[in-house]
């Protein structure tokens, strides 16, 4: 582009004549040349039930994760991205503070939820659609975003959001004809990546449209092997809704994986996803459903073929014998395990620990 500007001005840089004039013209062109536009990678992160945006920012070690992302970016992307910016909103439903906490500052114990979790995964999720509207408004004001990350309930609504933002005709028909119809226009173009930590599917009885056709957004799913709140099987069913899902099993309970190897794998996935795609944009038009949309029933297709994965020798661990909100990993309690990263489009195979494999 720069050379073309020189040639258009009538100068040949290989020609030694009129050196002073050429040098002067080159300086003028360089002065007017626009600098390379750099921006931060923008990531929307959604906390779990009974947590907050500030808590998730700390629990995910976002500063460390951001540094790993910078290490994983290609040279080309380093010239485009100036670090990572995390957006961690609080859920729209404020919960009553736990009286067990001894604090004089109400803000220290404020916790939130995205919707009220039913006793069964098959029940309707109260306040779910208002929460999606709440996030759509947030994206309109603060977005668009390159990717989305969620933990537990935040992962569930986050993966729904990723599905919704794909905005294909098949998706719009599925959402309009599911048990609980959803007709709002999506708030932005598809995310470059979606990461689910201990997530699960919404009830297929009411929300099948989010999953009835494969979700094409590149996704990473992290399963806790000893999770007593959201089992690895439930997280696997969510991963099956994605066309190209990468999954990581880690030894732990119901918490955000904080071991450095898990964080590095998350960062590498984010960087690889951004290597393939351009900047997201807000939608420029609203889409209307075809007139025959409501006469069609979304088809649920569940494939039964499984494919072997590829092994990566890194470890993760948990410090707690049961589920907790703290979820911080202690280095003293780290136990080596072999984790299998499964790249697949159908059912997902459980992974044995390294100690079990040795026996």
For residues 134 and 278, state if they share a domain.
yes
- Answer yes or no: is 38 within a domain: no
For residues 24 and 55, state if they share a domain.
no
Query: Residue 62 burial by CB count (10 A; 0-12/13-18/19+): exposed, middle or buried?
Result: buried
For residues 13 and 54, state if they share a domain.
no
Q: How many domains does the chain have?
A: 2
Cα of 283 vs its chain's centroid, Å: 19
pLDDT at residue 120, rounded to an integer: 60
For residues 300 and 259, state if they share a domain.
yes
**Residue carrying the six token digits 């494969």:** 214
For residues 199 and 274, state if they share a domain.
yes
Strands (E), the chain: 39-46, 81-87, 93-94, 112-113, 147-151, 193-197, 219-224, 245-250, 310-312, 339-344
* Token pair of 145 as six digits: 């975003």
For residues 303 and 157, state if they share a domain.
yes
- Answer yes or no: is 39 within a domain: no
pLDDT tens for each residue of 139-159: 999 999 999 999 999 999 999
Question: Residue 203: which CATH number?
Answer: 3.40.50.1820
pLDDT tens for each residue of 266-295: 999 999 898 775 544 444 333 333 334 333
Judge whether residue 331 has pLDDT over 80.
no
- Answer yes or no: is 69 within a domain: yes
For residues 67 and 132, state if they share a domain.
yes
For residues 122 and 21, state if they share a domain.
no
Residue ranges making up the domain that contains 19: 2-32
- Which comes out higher in pLDDT, residue 109 or 220? 220
Write down how long the chain is: 359
Which residue(s) pair with 151 in the sheet? 197
For residues 8 and 70, state if they share a domain.
no
Judge whether residue 37 has pLDDT over 50.
yes
- Which comes out higher in pLDDT, residue 79 or 232? 232
């Amino acid at each position: 582009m720069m050379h073309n500007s020189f040639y258009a001005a009538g100068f040949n840089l290989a020609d030694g004549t009129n050196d002073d004039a050429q040098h002067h013209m080159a300086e003028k062109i360089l002065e007017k040349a626009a600098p390379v536009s750099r921006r931060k990678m923008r990531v929307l992160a959604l906390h779990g039930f009974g947590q907050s945006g500030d808590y998730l920012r700390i629990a995910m070690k976002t500063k460390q994760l951001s540094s790993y992302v910078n290490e994983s970016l290609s040279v080309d992307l380093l010239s485009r991205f100036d670090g990572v910016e995390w957006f961690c909103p609080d859920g729209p439903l404020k919960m009553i503070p736990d009286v067990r906490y001894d604090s004089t500052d109400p803000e220290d114990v404020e916790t939130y939820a995205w919707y009220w979790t039913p006793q069964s995964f098959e029940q309707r999720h109260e306040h779910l659609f208002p929460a999606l509207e709440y996030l759509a408004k947030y994206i309109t004001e603060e977005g668009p975003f390159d990717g989305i990350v969620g933990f537990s309930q935040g992962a569930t609504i986050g993966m729904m959001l990723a599905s919704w933002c794909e905005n294909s005709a098949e998706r719009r028909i599925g959402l309009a004809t599911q048990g609980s119809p959803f007709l709002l226009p999506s708030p932005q173009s598809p995310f470059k990546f979606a990461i689910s930590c201990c997530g699960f599917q919404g009830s297929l009885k009411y929300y099948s449209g989010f999953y009835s056709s494969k979700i094409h957004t590149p996704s990473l799913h992290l399963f806790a092997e000893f999770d007593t709140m959201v089992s690895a099987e439930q997280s696997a069913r969510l991963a099956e809704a994605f066309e190209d899902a990468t999954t990581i099993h880690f030894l732990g309970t119901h918490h955000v994986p904080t071991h450095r190897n898990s964080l590095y794998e998350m960062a590498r996935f984010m960087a690889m996803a951004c290597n393939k795609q351009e900047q997201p944009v807000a939608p420029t038009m609203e889409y209307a459903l075809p007139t025959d949309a409501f006469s069609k029933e979304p088809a649920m297709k569940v494939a039964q073929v499984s494919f072997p994965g590829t092994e990566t020798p890194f470890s993760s661990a948990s410090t707690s014998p049961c589920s907790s909100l703290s979820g911080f990993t202690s280095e003293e309690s780290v136990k080596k395990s072999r984790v299998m990263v499964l790249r697949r489009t159908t059912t997902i195979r459980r992974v044995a620990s390294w100690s079990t494999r040795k026996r």
